[in-house]
Amino acid sequence: MKKYLKDTEATERFGAELWTLLPPALLSTRCLVFLQGDLGAGKTTVVRGFLREAGFTGAVKSPTYNLVEEYQIGDRKIVHFDLYRLADPEELEWIGINDYFDQACVCFIEWPDKGEGFLPEPNSVITLNSEGTGRVVEMKIML
């Protein structure tokens, strides 16, 4: 699936659509979504839209400095990782990333290339690229 998103609002709406695009079975087990794109491409905006659609009403911030932000929405856990500042993929072991993968949760991972060799295969890959004043999003679901 590939589509043009004209602005931030459209990018957030795409994130909300993910709630229905991802197969329900994935949302109730461990679901791993890789988010790819340059700085400012809208990766966190996609996650914000997803969280809003899931019912989260609080602030959604980029986990750039913390590496991880956790959200509990009812009986669902959504975890947002930003690996941009990772110096070495082995650091993922130090933050206990495998503990998250052993849980039933949706994990969004920005900059997954920084964790190459330590991350399992994703269930979905979303790539965002700037185009004009908007962006193009491409999504692949692997089952």
Higher pLDDT, 11 or 19: 11
At 143, the pLDDT band (50, 70, 90 cuts) reads low
Rounded to two decimals, the pTM is 0.91
Distance between CA atoms of residues 122 and 108, nearest Å:
10
Q: Please write the tens of the pLDDT for every residue from 82-138.
A: 999 888 888 898 888 889 888 889 999 999 999 988 899 999 999 999 888 899 999
Q: What's the CATH architecture for 2-141?
A: 3-Layer(aba) Sandwich (3.40)
Distances (CA, A) of 75 to 13, 31, 63, 88, 108: 23, 15, 22, 33, 18
In contact, 54 and 72? CB cutoff 8 Å = no
24 pLDDT more than 80: no
**pLDDT value at residue 140:** 93
Torsion of Cα atoms, 111 then 79 then 52 then 72, to 10° = -170
**Would you list the domain boundaries of the chain?**
2-141
Answer with the residue of higher pLDDT: 36 or 61. Answer: 36
Across the beta sheet with 105-110, what order do the strands follow? 2-5, 134-141, 124-131, 31-36, 105-110, 76-82, 68-73
